[in-house]
Amino acid sequence: MSPDTLAVSIFSWHGHRVLSRGDMYKKNLIGKILIDDPVFLAPIMGVTDLPFRRMVKRYGAGLVFSEMIASRQTIEKCHSAIKAREDYAEEFPMAVQLAGCEPDVMAEAARINVDHGAALIDINFGCPIKRVVHKLCGSALMKDECLAARIMEATVKAAKVPVTVKMRLGWDEAHRNAPAMAKIAEECGIGMVTVHARTRNQRFNGTADWEAVRAVRDSVKIPVIVNGDILTPQDAKRAMEISGADGVMIGRGAYGRPWLLRQVMDYLRSGAVTAAPEMDEISRIVREHYDSILRHYGEYQGVAIARKHLCWYLGNLPGSCAVYTEIKTMQDPEAVKEKLAGYFASGKTGF
C-alpha cells in the first residue's frame, strides 16, 4: 500500500472521526485541540525551553513540546520544574513531556502539569542519556513493557487530556520492539506515538531508519509520528513517504533555524520550499532570542545558556567562525550584543 492510500492523521481522541489523507491539511483535532499541520517541535533537554519555543511558534508549528521534566521533581516543586511550567497558558496549546518510572508519581505529575495549563502530556520512553537510563527511565522502559504499560495506564487515567508517547525503535538491534510497545500504548489509551528511528544503543549515531517506523504505523490505528534526521523540508516528505507516518517531529534540524518547521509545513502543503529569512530578519531573531534568554534565566546564567544557540545561528551563516570564537568567552551580554551587531552590519554575511 502506498503512503498516499494510507489512513492518515487519526488526530482524534474522545470519539472524533478518523481523518483521511485528503483531510490532512485541514484543521485536525487532538482531543479538543485544533492542529493545523502535523509538524511538531521535539522535546529536547537544554534546548526547547520557553525562549526557544517562542521563536519557533513565531513562525509556526503544529505543536511544540517542552523539555523533558522529571516527574518526581514536578511533585517536589523543584525550581527547574516550576520554571518549565509556569507559562503554559501563554503557549497554549503545548505538550509537556514527563519522564519517570513510578506509575503513581507519573500520574500525579501529569495532574499537576495539566492544572498549570498543559494541553497534552507526553511520556518519555526514548531518552538515551545514561543518567536517565540508569534510573530506569527514558529508553530503559523499552526493556520493561509491563512497567511501561502501568505508567501509561496511570498517566492516561490521571491526565484528563490527551496523552502521547515518544519512544525509540527499541533498546538495541536485537530488541526492536517499537511495534509491540506502540500496540500496548494504544490499548492503554495513548492517543499518538512518536518514534525516533534509532535504537537506544545508537544514541544519535548512524542514520535514522525511517523504513523501520512503517512496522509501527502498521501495528496501530492511532497516529504515528516519525522523528530523527529530519533536517530539511525534503527530508520531512521523504521520512513520511518511507515510514508511512502521519507527521514529523523535528529536533536538531531546528537548531539555529526556528523557521524550519514553517518551511516544512509550507513544503508539505505546496511542494515549494519557502526561502529562509533575510539577513536583517535573522539579525533581529538572534537579538530577540538572546534578550529572551537573559530575561528568562537572569543575566549570569543566561549568558552561558545562550552560547549554544548563538553557535547554532552563526554556524548556519558564512564568515561567522571568528566572531563566535570571541563571543563564546564573553561574560558581558552588552559586549556580546555589540559584537553580533558588528558582524551583521559588516556586509560579510551575504549568501
Q: Which residues are catalytic?
A: 127
Residue of 132, 194, 199, 119 lying closest to 164 (CA atoms): 194
Q: Are 101 and 125 in contact (CB under 8 A)?
A: no
Bridging pattern class, strands 163-168 and 120-125: parallel
3-state secondary structure of 290: helix
Distance (Å) of CA 290 to CA 120, 121, 215: 28, 28, 42
3-state secondary structure of 193: strand
Bridging pattern class, strands 28-30 and 33-35: antiparallel
Q: How far separated are the first and last CA of the chain, in Å rounded?
A: 42
Q: Are 238 and 213 in contact (CB under 8 A)?
A: no
d(C-alpha 230, C-alpha 144), whole Å: 29
d(C-alpha 285, C-alpha 290), whole Å: 8
3-state secondary structure of 224: strand
Where do we find the cell 521535539? 42
The burial of 136, by beta-carbon neighbours within 10 Å (0-12 exposed, 13-18 middle, 19 or more buried), is given as middle
| Residues ≥6 apart with Cβ < 8 Å to 183 | 219, 220
Residue of 225, 183, 207 lying closest to 65 (CA atoms): 225
d(C-alpha 76, C-alpha 137), whole Å: 18
Q: Are 66 and 52 in contact (CB under 8 A)?
A: no
3-state secondary structure of 307: helix
3-state secondary structure of 235: helix
